[in-house]
Chain A
Amino acid sequence: MSAFSRSALRVLAATGVSALLVAAPLAGAATATAATAIAATATAGARSATVQAVDVPGSLAAPAVDEIADDGVPVFVNVQVPVGLSPTTATATLTPLVPAAPGSTGVVLVTVRGEVRQSVDPTAPAAISIPLTGDDVVNGQVSIGYTYQPAAASTPDAAAVCLPPATASVSLSETAVSTEGQATAPTTLADFFSPALAAVSVTIPDAASNSVRQAGLAAVGALAHAYPAPVELSLTTVSDAAHAVAVDAAQGRVVTFAPADATAADAPVTTALSTDAAGVPVLTISGPEAALPAAGAALASDYLALAGASSTTGLSQTGTSSNGDTATLSPTFRDLGAGAQIALAAAGQPDAVVNVSQSAFGGPIGDASVHIVGMHSAVPDSIVATMNVYWNDYLIGSEVLGGTSAFDLTLPVASTRLTAANALKVSLSTQAATGDCVPASNRIPVELFVDNGASTVTGTRGQSLDAGFQRFPQALGQTLPVAFGTSLGDQAAVASAGDIVASLQRNSTVQLAVTVPSLEEFRGSTQSGLVVGATSDDSDALKAPLRLDAFTAIDSKAVTFGVGTTLPYAAFESFDTNGRDILLLGGWSPDDQSATDPLQVQAAHYTLTNPGAWFGLTGDVLVAQSSLTDPVALSSNAIVPQTAVTSDYNSYALWAVIVIIVLILAAAIGEATRRRRRKKLAAYVDAQLEAERDRTSNGQGPTQPPASGTTAD
């Protein structure tokens, strides 16, 4: 993991509670997975905010928090503060979600650096406003804690362990930190990628070659690997301002590639820092076209933090990132980002989650088993303690703790339980053997530790998911070939590819090595990958489930009546063909093909910006139309079979002909054999008769019948 960036950014998920050793949530995880992770962290002690925020000048926005439950567990909102800025005020709006039971209203405490700065009544909408100073910035960020203390917890003698489940909750929105001062422009490459970044725009020249496109895609992929959402990313051509993300001087950056002319093929790659007219820091990467992709991929390198000068030479990373080394079939919990250990306590954090992405195995897996090794404290006879292990909220193992302190469990996971991104939860539950509640003053002293270095998830290479978006990114392994078709213009093609690569990369635990083969090379290969700007012919050749042609969708409610389209549309599809999984972005129009450009861009952008990002994509087809606000996800099975698809099956008729021919040949050969045999037999009998006649005519008697056996008669 990059020491300079990801550790700082991913603290969003775990800041403030040292005991929480969950893996960094996959950015924009699928709805189900995200929900799992959020629920788990809610009980674990801290939650991260996931909703994208928008900054206004002089203010740093923070993500909203969907739910703060009245469980006494603090929720931290972390705001990265760019160097040179000093926070003055933090504001937010607190809104009741589920009201507390009458008579048991608690209080929401707002804390900074452990100090309670404000107490808020959670029963009504409230505006939060707390003063901040430069001293509140710790490690480049302001960490604001929100703790919903239930009424019961404030009673000293309450039976804390037997508290009823939290029911009341509030939400937090419009969090902003006002600042003063002037952001300091970076002076070294190591400073350039500040943890406080909100947006990075990567640009390449217009009409760039495949090498330069590959460089741009490698860069945006590397940045997506390093910067989870909500940091905005874009890849555009220089003249395409429309598709580039907005960047400002404080939290924005521009990375631009400047390929050298062909005469400088052996020149090294150089980097230079500057600022543009708006004061936005710009990193310019120059060098031979062939060397630029490796430089782009290096933007996620751990070693970038060593670049302590304003200009460098030889920036390069080949192969896959260091994380690629962990792409084995048996990663440890630590490899999966869960830290050195999981520490659970009956009186504190009762459970923890390890995120298990299939991409961590270097490819798809067909089934898995979990091996958990650890220790627990001695369990008094008066206590019943149980460790439960859940895979995507489904119980896969349970053990009553006691006797020996060490535990060592191997738990199989059925293939039907596997998803692209999985949540492994370890839970500790304790109760007095008598079943009575235990007073808070006499809490159960059971602790449980999981050795993350010795605990593993072992996968078997295979496939457990139906063809569709959720087979990605793991289907790619560690490489992502991106081929460009001809149905998209240069600007739209680059922007679309950038969005899709960023979305895929954000959900892969390994840094994908991006390549840009020609479409012909891609078609002929056996690798899984992405096609951008596919034409109708391309979709036919690759046997996409939705051919880029007019189609009719089956309305699921109406069962058989469809919604047809003969209007321009764009489709982003995921399918398998000949054993390879392919992503295909293309469009169709009855007349003007360029009409699909904005639709294809919209579909690609949706993969990055929809609420669940990549894991928010369901089914295997995403269709964008001008009449639709957002693209719609479809199952290809809900599309009336197109003529081009049904035509693929014509060849099977040939097999029927072949079977008939084989039968006719068998019959003919059999008949010929039988005739030959009959003929031979007839000749033999004729010869016998002839011989008989000869003997008779010569005055000899008839031949004696054979002693045994049969004769033909």
Chain B
Amino acid sequence: MSVLTAEPAAPPRPAPSRFAEWCLARWVSLGAPTVGRRVPGTMVVAVAALVVGIVAVIVTTSTGLNIAYADSQSHLTISRRLFDSKAPGFTQLGTVWLPVPSLILVPFVQNLWLWHTGLAAGLLGLVCLMGTACGVYRVAARIGLGRSGRIAGVLLIIANPSILYIYTTALTEPVLILCMMGCFAGLAHWVTSKRNLSAGEMMVFTGLPAAGATLSRYEGWVLVVGGTLVVLIASWRRKKEWRYAVKMSFAFAALPALAIAWWLAYNSAVYNNPLEFLNGQYSASNLQKATADAGLLAYTHNAGLTLWTYNWSVLETAGLLTVVLGIAGAVVVAWRWGLSNTALLVWVMGVAYGFSLLSLYLGQTHMNNDHSLPENWWNSRYALAVIPWLAVLAAAFVDSLSRVPTIGRGLLALVGLALVLQSAWWVTDPERSSVIAEADGYVQLKSASGATDAAAFLRDHYDGGQVLMDESAAGSALLPQIGIPLVDYYNRSTGELFDEAIASPATHAKWVFVSTADAPELSETGVADLVYDAVKKQPSFQTAYRVVFEEGDYRIYERIWS
């Protein structure tokens, strides 16, 4: 008789918790292949970006660093004065900057506190950060990169202090980059899709964000040119039909072209000059004319110095690791995809880099950093639009590392360690980011010039009675910092009302805020304080007003009779 004995059963594994299962599912989704329009893992990336972005917003808003840039305060002001002004209306958009960043900020600046603290821009920035991170992720996924590549690309965005800082401000870069990444993600879908997407889909998923980019910053205009070229080539390769290629190219370019046409028409209608933004009084070329005439745009027509200056800005905003991985990724993309449609998509993401170099070379842009000639901090943020491109290139390189047999995991661990070290290096001194160093410089400059105290004084002492102030004067872009409703101001944006108030301050404003800074180039470039220029010539002004604040370059007068 034989006795059958069963082997002792292995102890049952504890069932994973639902949370663990949920986490595992999210992890798996980050490496899952794309399915039609769906790119698994996008929500995970969005939430991660949101969490990091909230921390950044809290840090910069609580310290006031988010409104350090004068341009940031100007953008907040433009958005609010569309509805809060003595002369509200669409023309308050002006011509200095393209309108989309100001327009989409409008819902956020309805609340005076959100506007005053700059938190309004931070909320918009959260949306932009999520969109940018998702854009990088989706492009990486569309071109066939695995989980490690996708995650690396995203981390290089959301762990970058330059990006995180700028996205908490009202500067135009976040909106531009969001629109560009939206366009690239759409293009990536079209290029890699086995299904022939329709012209309508092309128009909605690529043309619309491209149009947003064209009305955000002028880098967007070059995006349209580059994107159209890619669509033309890829369409031809797909069907070898010119008709199809032209149709798809038109579908891509129609909305951006329309947007550009609208901008020209707007300038023509409001300023009687369709190129007012290019050659008008407040155009960038006029504002930097004095600098150019003084020979301080040293990189103009000097290719070597242009590359030196801009690349240092890229390095000091993107970080060494991002640049190194990006360059390695460029070689990988060239080797792996050559000039295929996939590669063309990646290469066209570099349009911002090419545009910036060309702009510097032609002397159209003013940029300085601590390696330029002369050394200074100025407009380093122009390098930010390059970072998503570098992130995608880096993702391609990391993906290739993950495919290396045997040591692939080790190499990935090294990249991860390098990323941690770079982040720690930044955390110990955020001013290693050139855009943050520049912001800190502005904070110190405003403090030293008296601007910070002047704004605080007016905020604390204003008890109604209207303010006469030239907020367009150099160093006087302080309206959000002051925090008084814009309807209480007579300033340049109020047009004829401003002229009337300058002619007779005492009958219009109880408070007069002036900058006494005086330099020839301020007048030449139109940023001298018009109020100060006027009142110092009016003998009656001194009898009607008394100085209640004076520090550095700033002076505040209060009308003697209330």
Residue B8 at the A interface, CB < 8 A? no
A659 contact set on B, CB distance < 8 A: 327, 330
B561 contact set on A, CB distance < 8 A: none
A670 contact set on B, CB distance < 8 A: 334-338
Q: Which of B279-338 contact A (CB under 8 A)?
A: 290-291, 294-296, 298-299, 302-305, 307-308, 327, 330-332, 334-338
**CA A645 to CA B373, docked complex, whole Å:** 9
Residue B460 at the A interface, CB < 8 A? no
Give A639's nearest chain B residue, CB to CB: B374
The one of B295, B303, B375 in contact with A656, judged by C-beta atoms closer than 8 angstroms, is: B303
Q: Do B294 and A646 have beta carbons less than 8 Å apart?
A: no
Q: Do A561 and B308 have beta carbons less than 8 Å apart?
A: no
Give B374's nearest chain A residue, CB to CB: A637
Give B298's nearest chain A residue, CB to CB: A641
A558 contact set on B, CB distance < 8 A: 519-521
B304 contact set on A, CB distance < 8 A: 649-654
Q: Do B308 and A663 have beta carbons less than 8 Å apart?
A: no
B375 contact set on A, CB distance < 8 A: 637
Q: Chain B: how many interface residues by the 8 Å CB criterion?
A: 31
Given A637-B375, A645-B373, A653-B303, A663 contacting B294 (CB threshold 8 A):
no
The one of A641, A649, A652, A667 in contact with B334, judged by C-beta atoms closer than 8 angstroms, is: A667
Q: Do A666 and B519 have beta carbons less than 8 Å apart?
A: no
Residue A671 at the B interface, CB < 8 A? yes
Chain A window 632-675, contacts with chain B (Cβ cutoff 8 Å), 1 for yes, 0 for no: 00000111110001110111111110010011101111110010
Residue A171 at the B interface, CB < 8 A? no
Given A667-B334, A667-B335, A670-B334, A652 contacting B296 (CB threshold 8 A):
no
Given A646-B305, A649-B308, A671-B338, A666 contacting B331 (CB threshold 8 A):
yes
Q: Do A667 and B298 have beta carbons less than 8 Å apart?
A: no
Nearest Cβ distance between residue A323 and chain B, in whole angstroms? Answer: 37
B339 contact set on A, CB distance < 8 A: 667
A641 contact set on B, CB distance < 8 A: 295-296, 298, 373-374
**CA A167 to CA B304, docked complex, whole Å:** 60
Given A639-B374, A649-B304, A653-B303, A552 contacting B294 (CB threshold 8 A):
yes
Given A649-B305, A651-B304, A656-B307, A561 contacting B338 (CB threshold 8 A):
no
B338 contact set on A, CB distance < 8 A: 667-668, 670-671, 674
Candidate in A557, A640, A654, A670 with the most chain B CB atoms within 10 angstroms: A670
B331 contact set on A, CB distance < 8 A: 662-663, 666
The one of B327, B343, B373, B521 in contact with A561, judged by C-beta atoms closer than 8 angstroms, is: B521
Majority-rule SS of A interface residues: helix
B520 contact set on A, CB distance < 8 A: 558, 561
Q: Which of B343-387 contact A (CB under 8 A)?
A: 343, 373-376
**CA A44 to CA B299, docked complex, whole Å:** 55
Residue A77 at the B interface, CB < 8 A? no
**CA A652 to CA B357, docked complex, whole Å:** 13
Residue A554 at the B interface, CB < 8 A? yes
Nearest Cβ distance between residue A676 and chain B, in whole angstroms? Answer: 14
**CA A552 to CA B299, docked complex, whole Å:** 17
Q: Do A664 and B334 have beta carbons less than 8 Å apart?
A: yes
Chain B window 516-536, contacts with chain A (Cβ cutoff 8 Å), 1 for yes, 0 for no: 000111000000000000000
A669 contact set on B, CB distance < 8 A: 335
Chain A window 531-561, contacts with chain B (Cβ cutoff 8 Å), 1 for yes, 0 for no: 0000000000000000000001010011111
Q: Do A554 and B294 have beta carbons less than 8 Å apart?
A: yes
**CA A653 to CA B298, docked complex, whole Å:** 15
Give A656's nearest chain B residue, CB to CB: B307
A664 contact set on B, CB distance < 8 A: 334
A668 contact set on B, CB distance < 8 A: 338
**CA A439 to CA B160, docked complex, whole Å:** 63
Give B522's nearest chain A residue, CB to CB: A559
**CA A664 to CA B294, docked complex, whole Å:** 40
Nearest Cβ distance between residue B294 and chain A, in whole angstroms? Answer: 5
Candidate in B290, B298, B327, B343 with the most chain A CB atoms within 10 angstroms: B298
Nearest Cβ distance between residue B27 and chain A, in whole angstroms? Answer: 27
Nearest Cβ distance between residue A579 and chain B, in whole angstroms? Answer: 17
Nearest Cβ distance between residue B473 and chain A, in whole angstroms? Answer: 14
Q: Do B335 and A561 have beta carbons less than 8 Å apart?
A: no
Q: Do A646 and B373 have beta carbons less than 8 Å apart?
A: yes
Chain A window 666-706, contacts with chain B (Cβ cutoff 8 Å), 1 for yes, 0 for no: 11111100100000000000000000000000000000000
**CA A639 to CA B327, docked complex, whole Å:** 34
Q: Which of B404-458 contact A (CB under 8 A)?
A: none
Q: Which residues of B contact A (CB under 8 A)?
A: 290-291, 294-296, 298-299, 302-305, 307-308, 327, 330-332, 334-339, 343, 373-376, 519-521
| Nearest 7 interchain pairs by C-beta | A670-B335, A652-B304, A641-B298, A649-B304, A666-B334, A641-B373, A653-B303
12 additional contacts, CB 8 Å, given A637-B376, A650-B303? A554-B294, A554-B374, A560-B521, A637-B375, A640-B374, A641-B295, A645-B298, A652-B304, A652-B307, A652-B308, A656-B307, A659-B330
